[in-house]
Amino acid sequence: MAEDGVRVVDGRWVELWDGGEPAGAPVMFLAGCPDTRHAAFAGDEAARGLGVRLVAINRPGYGRSTSQASTHASVADDVVAVADALGIGRFAVAGMSIGGPYAVACAARHPDRVTALGVLASPASVPELDPPYHRDDLGPDQQTFFNQLAHITPEQAVEQIRPDFLTYVAQLDPSDPDDTALVRRFLAELGPVDAEVLRRASGEVNGYRLGSDQAIAAAIREALVNPDGYLRDAAISFRAWDFRPEDVRCPTHLWYGDLDTNASVRNGYWLADRIPGAKLVVHPQTTHLAVLQKHWPAVLASLAESSR
């Protein structure tokens, strides 16, 4: 296990988790929103079994990663900077949910470094979708809200989103020392299937028994200790991309769930039409978190095989 972070060239701290097989084929992982490196812990056992080094990175403003006005491009470059700091040359990159576009940007910007790309339950370039929303369950007011985010500056978007997000965090109360009560409040906001997915995680990572109240509470607190990460993600994730998925040159795997209300499979078809040679898998009867958490062995095996 490597130390829990690195200092990049401009002096910022990037928090990470370095798991799996230390000498294995590297996969750099970017979590969803609001989420952190904890999302990768459940892949540790599969990574070790497959000979994969699994490195999960906290984007700016999550956990102890230094806040900054990040972009898809800057996060993509951070992935490379972390790889450099860890002595990793070429690597696969995978992104879950909101982490997916960052992973695509990394592959598009750094074709000399990225050996394979994995996108899991992620939004595409939302304004370019038909209709221009990443979800299929939005009412008229929600559609107006997401359309507005696409056409104002990220700074304006942050201020639009901030009040509701801070209200949500206050109601969830991650500072509550009672792990069980915190986790109960958090899981009540998820669908029952995804809540069960988190509960069924197994193994022990970083001193946490996965699936326990302690492990889930630690993940919640790290994701929400600083609101900057979520606010920046939300401000830039529903705008048109400033990079081209057509520029991706490595083998690409796209995984979606047909019951996912967070990222419709339309997003996967859009990406498959634009990334050369991309392979799209739609898992039947599969919800958002389950796209990754129920399929870690297959995801890591595909990325490792494509990297050879």
Q: Which residues, 6 or more positions from 166, have their beta carbon under 8 angstroms from its beta carbon? A: 227
The pLDDT of 42-57, averaged and rounded, is 98
- pTM, two decimals, is 0.97
- Residue 107, pLDDT above cutoff 60: yes
Percent of the chain at pLDDT above 70? 99
| Residue 64 pLDDT greater than 70, yes or no | yes
- In this structure, which long-range contacts are made by residues 208-216, counting pairs with CB atoms below 8 Å and at least 24 apart in sequence? 208/41, 210/41, 210/42, 213/179, 213/180, 213/182, 213/183, 214/179, 215/38, 215/41, 216/179, 216/183, 216/186, 216/187
Angstrom distance (rounded) from CA 278 to CA 253: 6
Are 55 and 29 spatial neighbours (Cβ–Cβ below 8 Å)?
Answer: yes
Mean local confidence (pLDDT), 62-79? 97
Number of other CB atoms surrounding residue 35 within 10 Å: 27
Predicted confidence (pLDDT) at residue 79 exceeds the cutoff of 70: yes
- The span from the CA of 269 to the CA of 248, in Å, is 16
Band (pLDDT 50/70/90 cuts) for residue 308 is: confident
For residue 306, the tally of other CB atoms under 10 A from its CB is 17
DSSP 8-state secondary structure symbol assigned to residue 238: T
pLDDT tens profile 269-279: 999 999 999 99
If 0-12 CB within 10 Å is exposed, 13-18 middle and 19+ buried, where does residue 98 land? buried
Average pLDDT of span 80-97? 98
Show the DSSP H helices in 64-153 as ranges: 72-85, 99-109, 140-149
What is the predicted pLDDT for the residue at 1? 39
C-beta atoms surrounding 308 within 10 Å: 8
Mean pLDDT of 253-261: 97
Mean pLDDT across 238-265: 97
Tens-place pLDDT, residues 129-157: 999 999 999 999 999 999 999 999 999 99
